Amino acid sequence: MAKKMCWIIIFVTVGINVVMLQWTIMAYLGLEYEKIYSYTIVGVLSSIIAFITYLKWRKYEYQ
């Protein structure tokens, strides 16, 4: 069960990361510079969460 939950978290955070990348590009091209930083921070945090979850999954998988 823990392995499935790790995969769900990984897919959700990667999906959030893709959306934040798209929104960051749209904000940059639309000259909405005040939104770029918030979208980038959310994207970076979701990447960090996905990486930490991957490490936990790897620990569960190879015990």
Q: Where are the domains of the chain?
A: 2-61
> Which pLDDT score, from 0 to 100, does residue 54 have?
95
> Which pLDDT score, from 0 to 100, does residue 28 have?
93
Structure confidence by residue, pLDDT tens digits, 2-59: 889 999 999 999 999 999 999 999 999 988 889 999 999 999 999 999 999 999 999 9
> Which pLDDT score, from 0 to 100, does residue 63 have?
84
| Region 59-63 average pLDDT | 89
pTM, whole model, 2 decimals?
Answer: 0.86
- Helices 2-29 and 33-61, interaxial angle, to 10°? 160
Label residue 48 exposed, middle or buried (CB < 10 Å: 0-12, 13-18, 19+): exposed
Measure the CA–CA gap between 23 and 39, rounded to whole angstroms.
Answer: 7
Quote the tokens at residue 32.
């909405």
